[in-house]
Amino acid sequence: MITVTNARKNYGSFAALDDVSLEIPKGSLTALLGPSGSGKSTLLRSIAGLETLDSGAVTIQGRDVTDEPPQRRGIGFVFQHYAAFKHMTVRDNVAFGLSIRKRPKAEIDTKVNDLLEIVGLEGFRNRYPAQLSGGQRQRMALARALAVDPQVLLLDEPFGALDAKVRTDLRQWLRRLHDEVHVTTVLVTHDQEEALDVADRIAVLDKGRIQQVGDPVTLYERPANDFVMSFLGSVSRLGDQLVRPHDIVIERDLATALALDADVPGSPGVVTAVVERVVPLGFEVRVDLRTEDGAHFAAQVSRRDAADLQLHAGEVVAARAIGRSSVVETAALAI
Ligand SMILES: Nc1ncnc2c1ncn2[C@@H]1O[C@H](COP(=O)(O)OP(=O)(O)OP(=O)(O)O)[C@@H](O)[C@H]1O
């Protein structure tokens, strides 16, 4: 387990970490998720010992490491842009940490072979970093970080510089790797889909503060505040409520919508709006809407519902939200 207690870090008068406390369970894959400048990297680097906290404490597996240098914290670190030794082969790059610790050659060979297999680079051991793709370089970086059996693996946007397809492949690969090696892993990302996809737990940061910590389902279904809700997925604003575009049911009968609305306590009520666009998104259809007072929002419905409803631009609809994180229903009124 990693604990961070009351961590503060200021740059001048700017608080990059503003009293952050966090527990990262042993063996978990925890994502630090937040927008640019929210303090994710500062928090990760403080766990690594690459930043010194102004106040607060960090423990790793029960040991207070607040005043320990990075090399004594038992961590492996992978950055967005991996600084590989260009003149060394993949094998030597992965072996580096073991070689400087003067491990016996046979042990190094076995370990490096195992790691290259785990990261799927067995056939690349004699190549140089320049002869690898970006994704392969990041996998080499992970093998190198894992070589010294770290207690904790810290990843700062490790796939941030890669294109979308490689990113998606690598995050699924990282999840499988984690299930295999079980090393406590902390992943910094600004990509909510990446966090929801790979992490067991997500800590959402904004303005140097933790907004919520929980498993992906809890954060998505029961966000602690509007910031978390908006950051973890698209939202529509209906009246003064935030709702997920998915949580919208469209009917063509306004009277039914009003009757349903009356049954739901806490509903923000029926909002009438004009359909602006009907956008096919593959499995689903997004319906862009505009309320009478000019506010834009979107509903997302299944292709089948969209086909049944035969919605067209220009029609007046009535949107109904029954709760910020529960089902929202929209009734359409043909004109
Ligand atoms: N060495 C520094 N000197 C001054 N300000 C800094 C320094 N390092 C970080 N900051 C500031 O602290 C804030 C938090 O930075 P941090 O890198 O932790 O954010 P982040 O959430 O990781 O953002 P990003 O996703 O853009 O990397 C930012 O506003 C940044 O400008």
Q: Quick: pLDDT tens for 164-198.
A: 888 888 888 899 889 988 899 999 999 999 999 99
What does the pLDDT average to over 227-242?
84
Q: pLDDT (tens digit, 9 = 90+) per residue, 78-116?
A: 888 767 888 999 999 999 989 988 889 999 999 999 999
Query: Which positions ≥6 away from 115 have C-beta within 8 Å?
Result: 94, 143, 146, 147
In this structure, are residues 321 and 237 in contact, taking their beta carbons and an 8 Å threshold?
no
Residue 333: which pLDDT band, with cuts at 50, 70 and 90? Answer: very low
Q: What is the pLDDT of residue 325?
A: 45
Q: pLDDT (tens digit, 9 = 90+) per residue, 5-23?
A: 999 999 999 999 999 999 9
DSSP letters along 280-306, please? E-SSEEEEEEEETTS-EEEEEEEHHHH
Long-range contacts, stretch 140-143, CB < 8 angstroms, 24+ apart? 140/82, 140/84, 140/90, 140/93, 140/94, 141/78, 141/79, 141/82, 141/84, 142/78, 142/174, 142/177, 143/94, 143/112, 143/115, 143/116, 143/118, 143/119
Residue nearest to atom 25 of ligand 1 (CA): 36
Query: Measured from the CA of 39, which atom of ligand 1 is nearest?
Result: 18
Q: What is the pLDDT of residue 91?
A: 95
- The overall average pLDDT reported for the chain is 87
In this structure, are residues 287 and 278 in contact, taking their beta carbons and an 8 Å threshold?
yes
Most confident of 28-37, 69-78, 321-330: 28-37
Query: Between β-strands 209-214 and 63-64, what pairing exists: parallel, antiparallel or unpaired?
Result: unpaired
**Distance of CA 231 from the midpoint of ligand 1 (Å):** 19
DSSP three-state, residue 129: helix
Element (H, E) at 87: none
Q: What is the pLDDT of residue 8?
A: 98
Q: What is the pTM of this model?
A: 0.84
Q: What is the pLDDT of residue 282?
A: 84
Distance CA 195, CA 305 (A): 30
Tokens in use for 6?
Answer: 């009351």
Q: What is the pLDDT of residue 335?
A: 34
Give the mutation target among 9, 11, 33, 44 for probing the ligand 1 site: most ligand atoms within 8 A of CB: 11
Q: Is the CB of 11 under 6 A from ligand 1?
A: yes
Distance CA 153, CA 155 (A): 7
Full strand arrangement of the beta sheet holding 269-280? 248-251, 328-333, 316-321, 269-280, 284-291, 296-302
Minimal CA–CA distance to 53: which of 24, 13, 18, 26? Answer: 18
Query: Measured from the CA of 208, which atom of ligand 1 is nearest?
Result: 14
Long-range contacts, stretch 102-107, CB < 8 angstroms, 24+ apart? none
Give the mutation target among 38, 191, 204 for probing the ligand 1 site: most ligand atoms within 8 A of CB: 38
In this structure, are residues 244 and 233 in contact, taking their beta carbons and an 8 Å threshold?
yes
pLDDT > 90? residue 210: yes
Q: Is the CB of 209 under 6 A from ligand 1?
A: no
Element (H, E) at 163: none
Q: Which single residue is written with the structure tokens 């700017």?
A: 14
What does the pLDDT average to over 216-225?
91
Give the mutation target among 17, 40, 51 for probing the ligand 1 site: most ligand atoms within 8 A of CB: 40
Q: What is the pLDDT of residue 323?
A: 52
Q: What is the pLDDT of residue 321?
A: 72
Q: What is the pLDDT of residue 200?
A: 95
Q: Is the CB of 129 under 6 A from ligand 1?
A: no
Residue 269: which pLDDT band, with cuts at 50, 70 and 90? Answer: low
pLDDT > 60? residue 217: yes
In this structure, are residues 232 and 204 in contact, taking their beta carbons and an 8 Å threshold?
yes
Strand segments, DSSP code E, in the chain are 2-11, 14-24, 29-33, 55-60, 63-64, 75-78, 152-156, 184-189, 201-206, 209-214, 236-238, 241-243, 248-251, 269-280, 284-291, 296-302, 316-321, 328-333
Q: Is the CB of 38 under 6 A from ligand 1?
A: yes
Distance CA 92, CA 260 (A): 67
Q: What is the pLDDT of residue 263?
A: 61
Q: What percent of the chain lies above the pLDDT cut of 70?
A: 92
Distance CA 131, CA 85 (A): 13
What does the pLDDT average to over 130-158?
91
Q: pLDDT (tens digit, 9 = 90+) per residue, 243-262?
A: 888 887 776 777 777 777 66
Q: Is the CB of 39 under 6 A from ligand 1?
A: yes
**Distance of CA 13 from the midpoint of ligand 1 (Å):** 13
